[in-house]
Amino acid sequence: MGVTNGVNGTNGVHAIPAVNGNGVNGTNGHAPLKAKLAELDASKLTITLSETLKPVPPPETLVFGKTMTDHMLYVTYEPEVGWSAPEIKPYGPLTLDPASSCFQYCPNVFEGMKAYTGPDGKPRLFRPELNMARMRRSADRVALPRFDTDQLLILIRRIVEIEARWVPKAKGHSLYIRPTIIGTRPSLGVQASDHAVLYVILSPTGPYFRTGSRPVALLAVDEHVRSWPGGTGGFKLALNYAPTFMPAQLAAKKGYDQILWLLGEDRRITEAGAMNFFAVVKRDDGDLDVITPPIDGTILPGVTRDSCLALASAHPSRTSLPNLPNSLVLHTHEQLITIPQLFEWSEQGRLLEAFCVGTAVVVATVGRIGYDDKDVVLPKYEGGMGPVAKALYERIVDLQEGKIEWEGWSVPC
C-alpha cells in the first residue's frame, strides 16, 4: 500500500497562509490561523516488510503472548501536528523518553482481539467494532488523544492480512491482537498526556490455561479489591492489572488458579481474574438461569460476555446451541451475585455450573470456589465442561472461525 504526502503537501497538516504586507499571515492584524491537526488516516499507511521472516512454531508449542509475529503497526501523536502517517514495519523495541507519562502515571490502554482462520483459509475477526468502541472509551477515561477507530480497524485488518501465515489453523487456536495506546508526554508534570504512541502487536496462541480440560479453581477474596464504584474497573486500562498480581500469587500458594474478586459488605462478585463470571442455576420449572454480574462501572464489558448473553438468550427461540435440547430454556440475567448466594445455591443442589469468559480464554469451567476456608465444589462433567459452558464455547469458536454465520459477528479481513 502506498503513501500520500498528506493535505496540501504538508504531510497531513493544512497549509498556513503566507505572510502578507500586514505582517500577520494575511489575517488583517488578527491572530494567525491555527493549523488543523492531522487525524489518524489509514490511506497514509507505509509498509516496510522484514527481510528475514521468523519460522512459525507448531500450534501445540504456543504459550499465550510469548511469540510475536514479524511486524507491528506504529503511529505517533504530537500536539503540534496530530497523528503521524501510520507504519507497518518489522517488530522491534520502542524508543521512549524516561519521563514519559506511560512510565510515571500509567495512561496506558490496550485491547484484546483475535484473528481466526476461516473455511476459505483467510483470516477473520470477531465483533471487532466492540473492541474499537471500548478502546475509545478507555482512552477517553485517561484523557489520551482521540483517534478514529474506523481507521484503526482498517489498519488492524491490513496487518492481519500481512501476517496471515501466523494465524493458526488448529481448532481453538488464534492470532492474538494487542492494540495499545500509551501516553508519551516527556514531562513529570501531573497532567494528561498530549503525546501518544499507538501500536499493534500480534501473537499466535493456543489455549490460555495450561490445565487442559481440568476446571479452574477460584479463591474469593474481599481483603483485596480489583475495582470500586466510580473507579476504572469498567475500562481496559493497564493500571487495573498490576494490583491483581500479588493476590493471584497468594491464591496460587493455596492451590487456586485465579482470584474471584468480591466487593462490599454483601460480598458481591465482580470478576474472576481478568474474566467475566457466570453461574448456571436450576429453576423450579426445570429451565436454567444463566446469571452474570451487571455492568455497573466495576466490571469490564467483555465482548465474550456480551456474546454469551446474546447466544444464551437466543436459545431455543432464534438459535439452537450445540447439544442442548430445544425444550430447555435459558433465562439470562445481569444481576448481583454474592458469595453467600453461591454457597446457598450449592447446598440446595441448584448450582449446576460456573464459568469464566474472556477473549483470551473464551470459556473456562470453574471446578471449585474457595472462601473463608470453605469450598463450593461444582458438579463434575465428562470432559470437564458443563453443558451450558460447553455449548457456548463450541458455538463461539465456530462463529469465530466462520464455520457458522450469525448476526454478522465474523468479519473477513
Q: In sequence order, what are the residues at sequence separation of 6 or more whose Cβ sits closer than 8 angstroms to the Cβ of residue 67?
A: 57, 203, 204
> pLDDT at position 31, please?
53
User: Is the separation of the CB atoms in 263 and 228 below 8 Å?
Assistant: yes
Q: How many CB atoms lie within 10 A of CB 78?
A: 16
Q: Is 116 helix (H, G, I), strand (E, B) or coil?
A: strand
Q: Is 138 helix (H, G, I), strand (E, B) or coil?
A: helix
Which domains are delineated in the chain? 1-36 (no CATH), 37-205 (3.30.470.10), 216-402 (3.20.10.10)
- The reported pTM is 0.89
**Residue 258: strand pairing partners:** 218
> pLDDT at position 153, please?
98
> pLDDT at position 256, please?
97
Handedness of CA 187, 188, 191, 197 (dihedral sign): positive
User: Is the separation of the CB atoms in 193 and 212 below 8 Å?
Assistant: no
Which residue numbers in the chain have pLDDT < 70?
Answer: 1-34, 209-213
Q: Which three cell numbers stand for residue 178?
A: 494487542
Question: Per-residue pLDDT tens for 204-251?
Answer: 998 776 655 689 999 999 999 999 999 999 999 999 999 999 999 999
